[in-house]
Amino acid sequence: GDSVTQMEGPVTLSEEAFLTINCTYTATGYPSLFWYVQYPGEGLQLLLKATKADDKGSNKGFEATYRKETTSFHLEKGSVQVSDSAVYFCALSASASGAGSYQLTFGKGTKLSVIP
């Protein structure tokens, strides 16, 4: 079945440091890829997405490129801020066989803490 593997956390960085959170996936067909962010006590919010190979999603200084050859979708940000402290989830969307819907499969999440 489909799966998403992302780096184990927690990750602790100083403000203005460079961030990379690795994400790799296995899926049949041509999934769409997503990064979601979850702030404490809240639901998930879409951070960025990419729908085909070599697409780059970007938002709020975060970027991720859909790499089909390495089945990866690593999240990067050049200079993190304290307000970026949250849990980040990598996810893919693929067809659910026989169901007529597309299911999101999530990684386990990576907790990021940014210290001043």
Partner 1 sequence: SQTIHQWPATLVQPVGSPLSLECTVEGTSNPNLYWYRQAAGRGLQLLFYSVGIGQISSEVPQNLSASRPQDRQFILSSKKLLLSDSGFYLCAWNLFGVHTEAFFGQGTRLTVV
Per CB under 8 A, residues contacting partner 1 are 30-32, 34, 36, 41-46, 49, 51, 89, 93-96, 99-109
> Judged by CB, which is closer to partner 1: 18, or 102?
102
Which letter does DSSP use for residue 83 in this model? Answer: G
The alpha helices in 1-116, defined as continuous H runs, are none
> Judged by CB, which is closer to partner 1: 12, or 51?
51
Strand-pair partners of 21: 75
> Do residues 37 and 107 lie in contact, with contact meaning Cβ atoms separated by under 8 Å?
no
CA separation for the pair 110, 46 (Å, rounded): 15
Rounded to a whole number of angstroms, the minimum distance from the CB of residue 75 to partner 1 is: 15
Rounded to a whole number of angstroms, the minimum distance from the CB of residue 43 to partner 1 is: 4
Rounded to a whole number of angstroms, the minimum distance from the CB of residue 56 to partner 1 is: 15
